[in-house]
């Protein structure tokens, strides 16, 4: 179908474009992108021939389809929490056209048949583009390498043992070397399980006061340091998942200054909330890495501002009610994030911490580069993955309306500003809220 998107503010960091403009979409591709186009795609006056749907996007922001490179779609194995289909619905509702999903399914995505299964499920529901991340080690046990070349051939775009961490440095070293020869990133979940053992929230004054065992920030920092050194030694590309501490931000900043090939992501809850959110024992705020102290939140925000942190990724971790409506000790960790990520991130622009292009960069082209996928751009000829954002739309988070099966959010009832109102994937409108 042919679509003409007229009059929006086109923000495309991949081409350093930020200004009013039109986009013509044909056959699933961006046919033309210019200051002003008519319905035939020519840069001239107005008039509407039949068959071309024209969308008036004045007042809206037009960006490359947003990419969330850290989600848990739970299928196969945990369909009661989420499926590829429900996760895809949540993605497009949140304005995401491409999503990378982590391998801690059941069975773990450590072989090509699981990767191919996930891709098939994604093709069946035909909403967002789903990119499987495969496991670093068999069953993510951190003992034996999985078959990277085979997994790449099946469609995996990176390797991670997210959910656990690779405690064995020799294995991590081999993983970095092996993935590097395929030009694929290793995405590290940095946690020293000996330091974090037994902990449920951030180790700080709040945990002392309320008496919950804590996870010190250094449990993350020592692994960040280790993995950075391994990446430096092997020359491989290391991507650090869900950065939550000031210590990690500092290490990453220094490593980048030295020229180490490290990139990093953080999730909206780490620049929005702190461990104070756990005071009420609200299991919706139980997450790994845990919500940290105020100094950590500050450091995360500064890391976003100065470019140390390259990507905002939701770490969408849907859980069923049964997993969360239990004692804090036994509750599952995780926040469902696809449908709130954009609005929460928008807050950074409202506050003036990031400009709009800087924010969009962290939600589009940077992730595309890290994953080496041909997305995150509105260049002519690119796939027509486009997100239209209404920056003025005020709305209240209502978990009951979430497309995701996971309703576990600490942001319920929050008034937010900014929302994806149109999500176009491959030239087709997959979500519409206007």
Partner 1 sequence: MKLNRKDILGIQELSVEEIDLILETADSFIEVSTREIKKVPTLRGKTVVNLFYEASTRTRTSFEIAGKRLSADTINISASTSSVVKGETLIDTAKNLEAMNPDIIVIRHSAAGAPHMLAGILRQSIINAGDGAHEHPTQALLDMMTIRTKKGGIAGLKVAIVGDITHSRVARSNIHGLTKMGARVCVSGPATMIPRGIEKMGVAVHFRIEEAIRDADIIMMLRIQTEREKQNIFPSLREYAQYFSLNRKNIGFARKDVLIMHPGPINRGVEISPDIADGPHSIILDQVTNGVAVRMALLYLLTGGTS
Q: How far is the CB of 193 from partner 1 (least distance, A)?
A: 19
Can residue 171 be called a binding residue for partner 1 (CB under 8 A)? yes
7-15, 29-37, 148-156, 300-308 -> range binding partner 1 (CB under 8 A): 148-156
Q: How far is the CB of 347 from partner 1 (least distance, A)?
A: 42
- Asked about 275 being catalytic, the answer comes back as no
For partner 1, the binding residue among 146, 266, 314, 341 (CB under 8 A) is 146
DSSP assignment of 159-196: EE-TTS----HHHHHHHHHHHHTTT--EEE----HHHH
- Residue whose entry in the numeric block shows the structure tokens 């509105």: 378
For partner 1, the binding residue among 147, 232, 276, 428 (CB under 8 A) is 147
- Binding-site size for partner 1 (CB under 8 A) equals 17
Residue 76: helix, strand or coil by DSSP? coil
What's the CA gap between 9 and 432, in Å, rounded? Answer: 18
From 110, 221, 275, 315, the catalytic residue: 315
24-32, 100-108, 121-129, 147-155 -> range binding partner 1 (CB under 8 A): 147-155
Q: How far is CA 57 from CA 37, 292, 390, in A?
A: 13, 39, 9
Q: How far is the CB of 189 from partner 1 (least distance, A)?
A: 19
89-97, 154-162, 173-181, 204-212 -> range binding partner 1 (CB under 8 A): 173-181
The nearer residue to partner 1, 148 or 270, going by C-beta atoms, is 148
CA nearest neighbour of 57 among 318, 386, 407, 430: 386
Residues 178-217 that bind partner 1 (CB under 8 A): 178, 180-182
Rounded to 10°, the helix 169-180/217-234 angle is: 50
The nearer residue to partner 1, 121 or 239, going by C-beta atoms, is 239
Phi, psi of 121 (to 5 degrees): -60, -40
Which tokens belong to 283? Answer: 């299991």
Q: How far is CA 430 from CA 28, 186, 393, in A?
A: 13, 31, 19
Can residue 394 be called a binding residue for partner 1 (CB under 8 A)? no
Phi, psi of 4 (to 5 degrees): -120, 120
Is residue 291 within 8 A of residue 278, CB to CB? The reply is yes
Q: How far is CA 307 from CA 4, 81, 214, 349, 377, in A?
A: 34, 34, 29, 15, 19
Please, which residues have CB within 8 angstroms of residue 417's CB and are 6 or more apart in sequence?
343, 346, 347, 350, 391, 392, 393, 394, 395
174-182, 240-248, 358-366, 399-407 -> range binding partner 1 (CB under 8 A): 174-182
Can residue 17 be called a binding residue for partner 1 (CB under 8 A)? no
For partner 1, the binding residue among 17, 138, 167, 210 (CB under 8 A) is 138
User: In the stretch 358-387, what mask flags binding to partner 1 with x, by CB under 8 A?
Assistant: ------------------------------
What's the CA gap between 196 and 199, in Å, rounded? Answer: 6
The nearer residue to partner 1, 37 or 171, going by C-beta atoms, is 171
For partner 1, the binding residue among 15, 32, 139, 174 (CB under 8 A) is 174
176-184, 375-383, 403-411, 424-432 -> range binding partner 1 (CB under 8 A): 176-184
The nearer residue to partner 1, 150 or 329, going by C-beta atoms, is 150
Q: How far is the CB of 156 from partner 1 (least distance, A)?
A: 13
Can residue 177 be called a binding residue for partner 1 (CB under 8 A)? yes
**What is the four-CA torsion angle of 121, 122, 123, 125, rounded to 10 degrees?**
90
Can residue 170 be called a binding residue for partner 1 (CB under 8 A)? yes
Residue 412: helix, strand or coil by DSSP? coil
Can residue 150 be called a binding residue for partner 1 (CB under 8 A)? yes
For partner 1, the binding residue among 144, 197, 294, 401 (CB under 8 A) is 144
The nearer residue to partner 1, 18 or 147, going by C-beta atoms, is 147
Can residue 149 be called a binding residue for partner 1 (CB under 8 A)? yes
The nearer residue to partner 1, 138 or 353, going by C-beta atoms, is 138
Can residue 113 be called a binding residue for partner 1 (CB under 8 A)? no
| 62: region left, alpha or beta (phi > 0 left; psi from -120 to 50 alpha) | beta
Can residue 329 be called a binding residue for partner 1 (CB under 8 A)? no
Strands in 225-278 per DSSP E: 238-240, 262-266
Catalytic residue positions, numbered: 315
Query: What residues line the site for partner 1 (CB under 8 A)?
Result: 138, 143-150, 170-171, 174, 177-178, 180-182
């Amino acid at each position: 179908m042919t679509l003409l998107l007229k009059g929006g503010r086109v923000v495309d960091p991949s081409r350093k474009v930020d200004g009013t403009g039109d986009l013509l979409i044909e056959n699933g591709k961006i046919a033309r992108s210019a200051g002003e186009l008519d319905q035939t795609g020519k840069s001239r006056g107005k008039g509407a021939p039949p068959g071309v749907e024209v969308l008036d996007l004045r007042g809206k922001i037009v960006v490359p389809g947003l990419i969330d490179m850290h989600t848990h779609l739970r299928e196969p194995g945990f369909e009661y929490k989420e499926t590829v289909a429900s996760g895809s619905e949540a993605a497009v509702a949140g304005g995401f056209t491409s999503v990378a999903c982590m391998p801690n399914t059941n069975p773990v995505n450590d072989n090509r048949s699981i990767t191919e299964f996930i891709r098939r499920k994604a093709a069946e529901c035909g909403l967002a583009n789903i990119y499987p991340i495969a496991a670093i080690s068999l069953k993510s046990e951190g003992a034996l390498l999985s078959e990277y070349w085979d997994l790449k051939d099946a469609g995996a775009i990176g390797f991670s043992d997210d959910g656990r961490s690779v405690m064995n440095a020799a294995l991590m070293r081999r993983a970095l070397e092996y993935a590097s020869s395929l030009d694929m990133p290793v995405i590290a979940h940095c946690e020293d399980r000996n330091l974090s053992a037994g902990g449920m929230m951030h180790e700080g004054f709040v945990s002392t006061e309320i008496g919950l065992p804590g996870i010190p920030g250094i449990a993350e920092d020592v692994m960040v340091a280790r993995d950075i050194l391994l990446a430096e030694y092997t020359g491989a590309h290391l991507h650090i998942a869900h950065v939550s501490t000031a210590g990690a931000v500092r290490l990453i900043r220094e490593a980048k200054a030295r020229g180490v090939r490290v990139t990093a992501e953080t999730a909206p809850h780490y620049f929005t909330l702190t461990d104070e959110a756990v005071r009420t024992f609200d299991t919706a705020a139980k997450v790994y890495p845990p919500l940290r102290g105020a100094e950590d939140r500050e450091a995360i925000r500064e890391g976003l501002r100065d470019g140390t942190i390259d990507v905002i990724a939701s770490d969408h971790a849907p859980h069923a009610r049964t997993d969360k409506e239990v004692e804090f000790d036994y509750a599952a960790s995780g926040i469902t994030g696809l449908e709130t990520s954009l609005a929460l991130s928008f807050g950074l622009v409202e506050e003036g911490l990031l400009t709009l292009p800087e924010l969009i960069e962290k939600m589009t082209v940077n992730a595309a580069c890290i994953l080496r996928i041909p997305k995150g751009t509105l260049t002519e000829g690119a796939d027509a993955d486009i997100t239209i954002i209404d920056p003025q739309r005020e709305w209240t988070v209502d978990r009951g309306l979430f497309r995701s099966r996971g309703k576990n959010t600490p942001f319920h009832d929050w008034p937010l500003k900014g929302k994806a109102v149109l999500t176009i994937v491959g030239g087709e409108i997959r979500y519409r809220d206007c």
